[in-house]
Amino acid sequence: WWAFSMTALSLGTSARCMHTSTARRISGAPLLAYRRLLQSSTTFNSNLRGTSLSLAPQRKLMSESAGPGDAAKAVQDLSSASGNSALQQDFLVQYVVVRKDLWGSLGWPLGSVVAQACHASSAAMWQHRDEEATQKYLAPDNIDHMRKVVLEVKDESQLRRLSEQLTQAGVGHKMWIEQPENFPTCLATRPYAKSQVAAHFKKLQLCKAPIG
């Protein structure tokens, strides 16, 4: 009987151990599954956040991309900038044209040539003093910013031809004729916007006479 009791006790203990082990496995299965599900969910959410962050700059770029209205505004701004640049270049100017032979073959001293140019410039502005461009040219806010272009012609005949062309084109100017010799030396226009008269002088060279 003792042997039978010990055998039964051993079998019962083994059964309880097996039951306990099985129960632990069975009861632990849902917890393990839940942990794995939680881990998978965490990984997915992390990937999703990374994707959202990576898409954010693209959405921002798309929202900031220029539409038709923005393109039209850009073209308008470019045109406006070009127009402003053109206006800045189209300044008031007075053209002075001097005979090259004065300091060449005729041997005039520098002071005498400069005096002739000054006479022509002053006379042209006085004769056209009522012109709006002349008044702007001599206005207090422009008096320190006057512009002149000094050009040269070969001789008297070329100077006279230029004066005739300017007269026919309606360009106000003064050809200075030194008295009492009645000797044409130079001419000067009244102040003009450069774009109005520059074409009449494009074939002439800048006056680059050496000094001394």
Host domain of residue 122: 92-206
- Is 212 contained in some domain? no
For residues 56 and 97, membership in a common domain is answered with no
Tell me, yes or no, whether 9 and 45 share the same domain: yes
Q: Residues 64-83: pLDDT tens digits?
A: 555 555 655 654 665 555 55
User: Is residue 209 very low, low, confident or very high in pLDDT (cuts 50, 70, 90)?
Assistant: confident
100 with 160, same domain: the answer is yes
- The number of domains in the chain is 2
For 152-203, the pLDDT digits (tens) are: 999 999 999 999 999 999 999 999 999 999 999 999 999 999 999 999 999 9
Specify whether the CB–CB gap between 186 and 159 falls below 8 A.
yes
CB 188 within 8 A of CB 147: no
DSSP 31-57: HHHHHHHHHHHHHHHHHHHHHHHHHHH
154 shares a domain with 114: yes
Does residue 211 lie in a domain region? no
* 201: number of Cβ within 10 Å: 16
pTM > 0.75: yes or no: no
Average pLDDT over residues 22-50: 52
Q: Do residue 120 and residue 197 come from a single domain?
A: yes
Residue 78 lies in a domain: no
**pLDDT tens profile 40-65:** 555 545 554 554 444 445 454 444 55
Rounded to 10 degrees, what is the CA torsion of 199, 204, 207, 210? Answer: 160
Q: How many CB atoms lie within 10 A of CB 113?
A: 20
100-146 pLDDT tens trace:
999 999 999 999 999 999 999 999 999 999 999 999 999 999 999 99
Half-sphere exposure of 170 (CA within 13 A, CB side): 1
* Residue 87 maps to a domain: no
* Structure confidence by residue, pLDDT tens digits, 159-169: 999 999 999 99
What pairs with residue 149 in β-bridges? 95
82, part of any domain = no
Token pair of 41, please?
């969910």
Mean pLDDT of the chain: 78
Whether 135 and 177 share a structural domain:
yes
Based on the domain organization, do 60 and 110 belong to the same domain? no
Query: Do 100 and 166 belong to one domain?
Result: yes
Q: Does 33 share its domain with 113?
A: no
Q: Which is more confident, 185 or 35?
A: 185
User: Once rounded to an integer, what is the mean pLDDT over residues 81-108?
Assistant: 83
| Domain annotation covers residue 32 | yes
Residue 51 shares a structural domain with residue 120? no
- pLDDT number for residue 45: 52
Residue 19 domain flag: yes
- The predicted pLDDT at position 89 comes to 72
Instruction: Assign 149 a pLDDT band (cuts: 50, 70, 90).
Output: very high
Q: Is it the case that residue 8 has pLDDT exceeding 80?
A: no
Asked whether residue 60 falls in the same domain as residue 99, the answer is no
Spell out the alpha helix ranges (H) of 65-193: 68-89, 110-127, 132-137, 156-168
Q: How far apart are CA 89 and CA 82, in angstroms?
A: 11
| Lookup result for tokens 């079998």 | 11
* Shared-domain flag, residues 112 and 201: yes
> Considering 50, 65, 80, which residue would you say is the last residue of a domain?
65
What tokens does 87 get?
Answer: 């206006």
Q: Is residue 73 part of a domain?
A: no
Q: Please state, as a whole number, how many other Cβ atoms lie within 10 Å of the Cβ of residue 95.
A: 26
